[in-house]
A and B are shown apart, each in its own frame.
Chain A
Amino acid sequence: MTKTLKLRFNRKQLCIPYAAFLILFVICPLLVIIYYAFTNGTGQFTFDNLVNFFSNTNTLGTLLNSIAIACVTTIVCLVIAYPVAYILARSKFRRKYVLLMLFVLPMWINFTLRITALKEILSFIEGNLAMYPFLNTVIGMTYDFLPFMILPLYTALSKLDKSLFEAAEDLGASSFTVFMRVVLPLSVPGIISGVTMVLLPSMTNYVVLDMLYNSTYIMGSLIGSYFAAYDWNNGSMISLILLIIIFIITLATNKFNDDQSSGRTVL
């Protein structure tokens, strides 16, 4: 009896839980979405949902709006995060990790709690939140995603060889030129991973909007509203389109990142 019970364990079996998880929660839902996206309410195959998406000004407008919000958020994050990361990475301050921690610390607090706090502050300043929907959304998202921009930038900048700055200075570059010609180009990989980490979630994260009593729609909220009305088919189609857009962006940035890093890794 004992012999038959003995488990023949090998390393490949370790991935079974993950594979099961992947099939159950990623692949199956994806198949369901694809099924719903290309059928109508009675279960017949149709392209109507696709046509709907591109003929409906509401959905297209939402798509553009999402892209606009995502881009503005990313740019604002970058503009704030770069100087912070640069100063932290180059400072000789011994406790700079404490400073870095201060920027990352909000990530440890519950997300809804943070947004609720932000809502209170914004309503105190603005009076009525509904007056500046776009601004509020950008502020909320920037607040939420800033650490994701600072960390990759900090990592990229602190890895840079100090002698490169000295070499540039030695060749006649002023501090500004050193930054423009050496620091900035060499921190591009950090910028790209920061942008990826902020741009994609900010296109779909509609919790921030919801909580800030917002009338602005982004893709996430649009899908939410379709599903709330039990229109699985149109909702699925929008999800699918969004998925494809994100896939394309990821592919493009990865490709760019590879081109950049292949040269660096050989060094």
Chain B
Amino acid sequence: MNQTSTIIELKNVCKSFDDTVAVENFNLTVQKGEFVTFLGPSGCGKTTTLRMIAGFDLPTSGQILLNGEDISNLPPNKRPVNTVFQRYALFPHLNVYENIAFGLKLKKIETEVTNRKGEKVKKLTHLSRREIDEKVKRVLDIVDLEGFEKRSVATLSGGQQQRVAIARAIVNEPEILLLDEPLGALDLKMRKEMQIELKEMHRRLGITFIYVTHDQEEALTMSDKIVVINDGEIQQIGTPTDIYNEPVNTFVADFIGESNIFNGMMTGKLKVKFCGAEFDCLDDYEINQYVDVVVRPEDIIICKPGEGQLKGKVLSTVFKGVHYEITVEVGRFEIVIQSTAYAAPDSVIGMRIEPDGIHIMEKVYTENKYDGVITKKNTVEFGDGEFECDVTQLYPGSHLDEEGYLITAAGEKLDLTGTEVTVEVGFRDITMSDEKDAGGAEGSIISMIYKGDHYRYIVRTEENEEDYVLACPDLWNTGDKVSLIIPADKIKLTLKPAAGEKK
């Protein structure tokens, strides 16, 4: 990357509010004139990152470099960036002209003036009235609001207020324009129009745009570069095409566009097995490795039964305008296809997937692993909860006496209270219940991904934000509060090396 064209760089930026981490280890370089989009679900930390660039929030650690200079602790009024706010934040006591001229009236520029002695000196002066008039007129022209100068902002429609907000920001000729979900409050048609206008404005002004949205379509349409964020961490940075075609993990695949996600296993060199069939693929992973497989609905080609790798029964066919959305049942898996070809419901069809339509990615979550402590008799504390467990597995051949003390194979009596252990639990061994106190820990569902025949949920506890990853065929909603049940015999305990030596 060419150093001179880099306009802003975020280095290991972290931000936490009290105990919660909002942004973690954020590293990003933005080139001059780029249209960069921060994309992620609400609460993922994208707005916080934007606010740190604007200066409203200061990073807890890390650096923000603008043109190579550290601006991490500069107040917002000293930064050459301007923001378009989510709810516009227009000044209700000022009219359109005064709103737009607000920044210009405060601006001081260096001009050369001749003083009384006839010497030329540099002096900071405000812009003249005429200059301000001209600039305001020019931006009003850009945002298509000529003749609105005297209007009160309260009398404007949402779209017009939006334009005033943009005009108010770009009139200051910032080096970077920050847009915080600027189209969120507009209706769909208006949004589409503004998307095109914003893109056009970006092209004409040549200013760097940093745009925050949770709308993946908006991000794909407008950006040069998309930064997909989840849970305060960057998931993937790339062009819209890269992000769509080569998602790095199931989160990105699921968030951007529609996708079929399956659990798969590498069965040979460039061969992967999922949905009960073997496919040729382009990604090279170790043989026998478990992987996530992503197939876009439009990459599945319908063919005659018997041809292609898969065969299934059509469950439903919905006409979507350009294509049909066809849901097919293959064994216990459900596959969604988008195709211009029609397939009648209840008919049996074959499906073919070309190697370039199969995206294979390493599993992010392979197991639930926690640090735990044995509490009084036969219970273990981990992940913000307390579960019954079988401690005899820690010492082969041991058993429990009537009082609940552990008797080792050698007949030694042990009190295990306070012993530190490593706890492992399989995805399929955890069940959820909406009954409070039914299980050993409680949390809310923060993510769910459909994997063809089951959902993969991540449940996060409130206290220490411990995550439980689990697979479950039933449908729950994100945000549901659930209690987690783990049978005692499914909790796998191992002694921690240090603890083992002591005893």
A residues neighboring B (CB under 8 Å): 161, 163-164, 166-174, 177, 181-182, 185-186, 263-264, 266-267
A185→B83 CA distance, assembly (Å): 22
Beta-carbon nearest neighbor of B86 in chain A: A163
CB distance from A184 to the nearest CB of B (A): 10
- Is residue B122 contacting chain A, with contact meaning CB distance below 8 A? no
Kindly identify which residue among A167, A177, A186, A263 contacts B83, using a CB–CB cutoff of 8 Å: A167
B93 in contact with A185 (CB, 8 Å): yes
A167 in contact with B77 (CB, 8 Å): no
| Chain B residues whose CB sits within 8 angstroms of the CB of A164 once the complex forms | 89, 91
A186→B92 CA distance, assembly (Å): 8
Chain B 415-427: CB-based contact to A (< 8 A → 1; otherwise 0): 0000000000000
A185→B75 CA distance, assembly (Å): 23
| Chain A residues whose CB sits within 8 angstroms of the CB of B487 once the complex forms | none
> Between A and B, how many residue pairs show CB distances below 8 Å?
70
| Chain B residues whose CB sits within 8 angstroms of the CB of A166 once the complex forms | 56, 76, 83, 85, 89
A173→B93 CA distance, assembly (Å): 16
B77 in contact with A170 (CB, 8 Å): yes
Q: Can you list 9 pairs linking A and B with CB atoms under 8 Å apart?
A: A169-B77, A170-B76, A170-B81, A171-B172, A172-B77, A173-B106, A177-B106, A181-B102, A266-B155
- Is residue B25 contacting chain A, with contact meaning CB distance below 8 A? no
Beta-carbon nearest neighbor of B79 in chain A: A170
A170 in contact with B83 (CB, 8 Å): yes
| Chain B residues whose CB sits within 8 angstroms of the CB of A167 once the complex forms | 83, 85, 89-91, 168
- Is residue B82 contacting chain A, with contact meaning CB distance below 8 A? yes
Kindly identify which residue among A169, A182, A263 contacts B76, using a CB–CB cutoff of 8 Å: A169
Beta-carbon nearest neighbor of A163 in chain B: B89
A163→B181 CA distance, assembly (Å): 14
- Is residue B87 contacting chain A, with contact meaning CB distance below 8 A? yes
A196→B92 CA distance, assembly (Å): 24
| Chain A residues whose CB sits within 8 angstroms of the CB of B172 once the complex forms | 171-172
Chain B 428-449: CB-based contact to A (< 8 A → 1; otherwise 0): 0000000000000000000000
Beta-carbon nearest neighbor of A165 in chain B: B89
A169 in contact with B92 (CB, 8 Å): no
* Contact residues of B: prevailing secondary structure: mixed
| Chain A residues whose CB sits within 8 angstroms of the CB of B85 once the complex forms | 163, 166-167
Chain B 151-165: CB-based contact to A (< 8 A → 1; otherwise 0): 011110000000000
A171→B85 CA distance, assembly (Å): 12
A264 in contact with B154 (CB, 8 Å): yes
A113→B93 CA distance, assembly (Å): 43
CB distance from A177 to the nearest CB of B (A): 6
Beta-carbon nearest neighbor of A267 in chain B: B154
Kindly identify which residue among B82, B86, B152 contacts A170, using a CB–CB cutoff of 8 Å: B82
Interface residues of B in 85-107 (CB under 8 A from A): 85-87, 89-93, 102-103, 106-107
B92 in contact with A171 (CB, 8 Å): no
Chain B 166-208: CB-based contact to A (< 8 A → 1; otherwise 0): 0011001000000000000000000000000000000000000
- Is residue B294 contacting chain A, with contact meaning CB distance below 8 A? no
Beta-carbon nearest neighbor of B87 in chain A: A163
A185→B102 CA distance, assembly (Å): 14
A264→B93 CA distance, assembly (Å): 8
Beta-carbon nearest neighbor of B100 in chain A: A171
A90→B86 CA distance, assembly (Å): 21
CB distance from A266 to the nearest CB of B (A): 4
- Since A169-B76, A266-B155 are in contact, a sample of 16 more A-B pairs with Cβ atoms closer than 8 Å, ordered by chain A residue number, is A163-B89, A164-B89, A166-B83, A168-B102, A169-B55, A170-B55, A170-B81, A171-B82, A171-B172, A172-B77, A172-B172, A186-B91, A263-B93, A263-B152, A263-B154, A264-B92
B168 in contact with A171 (CB, 8 Å): yes
| Chain B residues whose CB sits within 8 angstroms of the CB of A264 once the complex forms | 92, 154
B103 in contact with A172 (CB, 8 Å): yes
CB distance from A208 to the nearest CB of B (A): 36
| Chain B residues whose CB sits within 8 angstroms of the CB of A173 once the complex forms | 77, 102, 106
CB distance from A192 to the nearest CB of B (A): 14
| Chain A residues whose CB sits within 8 angstroms of the CB of B89 once the complex forms | 161, 163-164, 166-167
A267 in contact with B106 (CB, 8 Å): no
Chain B 64-77: CB-based contact to A (< 8 A → 1; otherwise 0): 00000000000111
A263→B169 CA distance, assembly (Å): 23
Beta-carbon nearest neighbor of A266 in chain B: B154
- Is residue B54 contacting chain A, with contact meaning CB distance below 8 A? yes
Beta-carbon nearest neighbor of B56 in chain A: A166
CB distance from B418 to the nearest CB of A (A): 37
A167→B56 CA distance, assembly (Å): 10
Beta-carbon nearest neighbor of B152 in chain A: A263
Interface residues of B in 109-160 (CB under 8 A from A): 152-155
| Chain B residues whose CB sits within 8 angstroms of the CB of A171 once the complex forms | 77, 82, 102-103, 106, 168-169, 172
